Amino acid sequence: MTGPIRSARGFWAGAAAAVLVAALLCFFVSYEYFFFAAYIVLLFVTLATAWNILGGYAGYVNFGTPAFFGVGSYTAVVLIQAAGAPLALQIVAGAVMAGLLGLFAGALTLRLRGIFFAIATVALIFILETVFINWRYVGGATGLQLLRPEPLPPFKSYTTMLFFVMALLAVGSVAVARYIEGSWIGRGLRALRDNEEAAEANGVPTLKLKLFACTVMGAIMGAAGAPMPMYLSFVEPASTFNLNYTIGALGGAIIGGTSHWSGPIIGAMLVGTLQQIITVTISGEVNVLVLGVLLVLFVIVAPDGIIGWFRRKR
Amino acid sequence: MSIDLLLEAILFGILLGCFYAAVSIGLSVSFGLLDVPHVAHPALMVFGSYCTYLLASTGLDPIICGVILMPVFFVLGVLVYRFYYETFEKRGTEAGVRGLAFFFGIAFIIEIGLILVFGVDQRTVEAAYIGSSLELGEYRVPYRMLVAFGVALALTLALALYLSKTFMGRAIKAVAQDEPALRLMGANPVQVKQWAFGIATGVSALAGAMLIIVGPVEPALDRLYIGRTFCVVVLAGLGSMTGTLAAGLILGIAESVVLMLFGASWAPAVAFSLLLLVLGVRPQGLFGR
Amino acid sequence: MSEPLLRVAGVSKHFGGFTALSDVNIDLAEGERFGLIGPNGSGKTTLINCISGALRNDGGSIRFRGEEISTLPAYQRTRRGIARSFQIPRPFHSMTVLENLLVPSAYVIHLKDEEGEVKAMEILRGMGLAERARSPANQLSQVELRKLELARAMAARPKLLISDEAMAGLAGAEVDEVLQILFKLNEQGITIIMIEHIMQAVMRFSQRVICLDAGKIICEGAPAQIVANPDVQKAYLGA
């Protein structure tokens, strides 16, 4: 990828344009369902981008997206229940808690081979789900209904406001991923992905870098999870700690391409849009099936994803 | 908490544990010995449960169904491994990452496929031994658990014997430890691994039959069993067959006691928590290589 | 003379019930050219894995420039001046040859990329790899990969370089090429441990040779002595 996407000014111009477009959409579109659906697409962009920091750059595939996402959601719920906290605080707190979870989970298992880390992330999901099922303060197994407060001016609807917030999170997460990718940290991550033992022998502090990537990934996913309870006006463990988020994040990144920050954006937009179309016209299950098939196909045939395919065309 | 309740929980836990060992033994071979990141193992097993369900509707005993399915699943396993080898393992380097994503995708496809065909409702099978219990003094032991226990024990012992006494079995163990040496002995490592994966999958068919005997199945059950099977395999130590039995018993008893003390809403977390504990404290497991 | 550059004292390593190394003692002086030989499975790679930090030794101590390093992770040992090349080359395959060298350049020497590239190109020129600087590492030939291994190790500006069978599988002229590179590096003051099966290379290169067998040192001395030693011959030809 050369030209405008590579340069910093080009990127920030594009980012500003994206935010501007989001803002304009907020004021000129009154079809509520659009924001409802677009929120999910932007959510997947954020999740896939975050996933890619550890899964793509460092090569540590993991399935734990729902764990970090869910911790973000439930942190928000606790703050809402305890103190009626504003959305901004929920997001920051969600990021912090999920980031700490990433650090903890990483410290526990990133010394081991990749597959053990991946399985450990699945374990996290189920353990957390069980914990929240048994915690009645946040609704337990049946969940909790939540009342939306008034949207902050100038927004006229809460959904629209959430859409804009998620747009900011998406742009922010891409900026973070891009920074990491191009920095010396990114080079170290790539080295350890290519050959961990050789990276270590060449001065790369592999464990520290992995922990860093895992913490950042967790934090971004937690931030993305925090607005979800308000988005649905409802929260419950089963749908929050659902492996479907995994396949969306992982699938989006792998289908789009894991070597560059643009990959997860493309992949997640494709996956998110497909999800909306298929779920509404056929069923939620068929959507997941299509996603699974796409994932398997890409992993076999086009492991560098969509951007890899474009690169080879040039 | 009375001693009687505790003893009953432990007794049930032993039966349950043996069952867990049997459903994990396929993974012990495919992941423990062959290093395949086979997160789709539980999904294949649940698929085996549904196949048993279909076959059993013709009136056959579920265990017989499971045995009939074993050669079919053996062939399936050989094909899956061959495909995995040609596409991922042979190309080295990034194989682990993509192999993991591949099997994860397969697990999802199987699960959703089952939902689309059978729906999300639970399915059960019927047999003479399902529904009634054996009375041993103060304790009631469900017959279906005894049957599962018996089959599980037989299966585990049979596989352990196969691996240590037959030429192919020892070749399988060798390929895990020293592939170049195996080549020098004239055996083709890929064929050995293929055969081993086939056995692991064939065993999963019988495991699936036991699964639906022990309790109702639903498509999403594989997610829970990822925790249980990997917990057993990791706790045992990769590649140890006898360890699988011991680890299964530990998990079974732990789960049973937690079930008794804290109720059904906490029991699913036991396997996953034990798994995390083992990974954090002693990742090579009890008898690992 | 003060303490040797590297002092390996009483080092042992077990894998389960198998003893890979037992009571290994080596003193390495600065600037020395040291050969390590032994049949397959004798523990050579295990020993250098323990020195470089890829493995932790179970017993004994390893002191480098007066400091005990046996508890340090590998990347910290590299930062203290121990570099190694791998027996089977392990390039960073998603990067170019130049970028491969930028990893130690950034992580060991802490150079920014502009300066790092200049230094890296110098090293590549010295190895005869300069034209391949922009090539992806996964397109290199065997001998080029071996040179890349050494070049990358050099980019870390080591005091001690461990060359693990850098010439394995290479033909005559290629062996000489790599040997010349190692001689040149030694002239620049780098202490070198060479592990090789190609005897004539070990004999030409080493000032001192140690032979390992089944995890123990069975002979130590000048190259001519080692070759003549009956224990060494038995170890290689089998009992």
Q: By the CB < 8 Å criterion, does C90 face chain A?
A: yes
CB-CB contact of C148 with C100 (8 Å): yes
pLDDT tens across C202-229, in order?
889 999 999 998 889 988 999 888 888 8
Secondary element (H or E) of residue C114: helix C113-127
CATH of A14-313, one of 1.10.530, 1.10.3470, 1.25.40, 3.90.320: 1.10.3470
d(CA A129, CA A242): 9
d(CA A41, CA C209): 65
Secondary element (H or E) of residue B158: helix B143-165
Q: By the CB < 8 Å criterion, does A299 face chain B?
A: yes
Size of interface A-B (CB pairs under 8 A): 115
Q: By the CB < 8 Å criterion, does B283 face chain A?
A: yes
pLDDT of residue A2: 44
Q: Which residue has the higher pLDDT, A258 or A4?
A: A258
CB contact under 8 A, A122 and B280: no
- Please state which of the ranges A105-119, C62-76, C119-133 shows the lowest mean pLDDT: A105-119
- Mean pLDDT calculated for residue range C14-25: 87
For residue B91, give the chain A residue with the closest CA.
A300
pLDDT of residue A1: 41
- Checking if the pLDDT of C151 tops 90, the result is yes
Helix, strand, or coil here: B116? Answer: helix
Give Cβ neighbours of residue C72 (< 8 Å, ≥ 6 apart): C53, C80
pLDDT of residue A3: 42
Q: By the CB < 8 Å criterion, does B92 face chain A?
A: no
Of B185, B203, B150, B151, nearest to B33 by C-alpha is B203
Give ∠ CA B155-B160-B165 in degrees, rounded to 5: 125
Smallest Cβ distance to C95: which of A190, A197, A207? A190
d(CA A130, CA A242): 12
- Distance from the Cα of A115 to chain C's closest Cα (Å) equals 20
Give Cβ neighbours of residue A310 (< 8 Å, ≥ 6 apart): none
- Please state which of the ranges A82-91, A246-255, B275-284, C1-10 shows the lowest mean pLDDT: C1-10
CB contact under 8 A, A250 and B113: no
CB-CB contact of A35 with A160 (8 Å): yes
Give ∠ CA B27-B31-B32 in degrees, rounded to 5: 90
For C41, other C-beta atoms within 10 Å of its C-beta total: 13
Residue B135, beta-bridge partner list: B140
Most C-contacting residue of A57, A202, A209, A304 (CB-CB within 10 A), to test interface? A202
d(CA C98, CA B192): 41
Smallest Cβ distance to A201: which of C74, C94, C102? C74
> Considering the domain B3-281, what is its CATH architecture?
Orthogonal Bundle (1.10)
Cβ-based contacts of A184 with chain C (< 8 Å): 106-107
- Checking if the pLDDT of A5 tops 60, the result is no
Q: Give the N- to C-terminal CA distance of chain B in Å, as an integer.
A: 40
DSSP B123: B
| Structure ipTM | 0.89
In the CATH scheme, what is the homologous superfamily, with its name and number, of domain C6-89+157-237?
Answer: P-loop containing nucleotide triphosphate hydrolases (3.40.50.300)
- Mean pLDDT calculated for residue range C113-131: 91
Task: Extract the runs of DSSP E, i.e. beta strands, from chain B.
Answer: 133-136, 139-142
Map out the domains of chain B as residue ranges: 3-281
Cβ-based contacts of C52 with chain A (< 8 Å): 201
pLDDT band of C230, cuts 50, 70, 90: confident
Task: Identify which of A198-212, C5-19, C161-175 has the greatest average pLDDT.
Answer: A198-212
Q: pLDDT below 50 — which residues of chain B?
A: none
Distance (Å) of CA B117 to CA A47, A279, B40, B120 = 31, 17, 19, 9
Say what the pTM is. 0.90
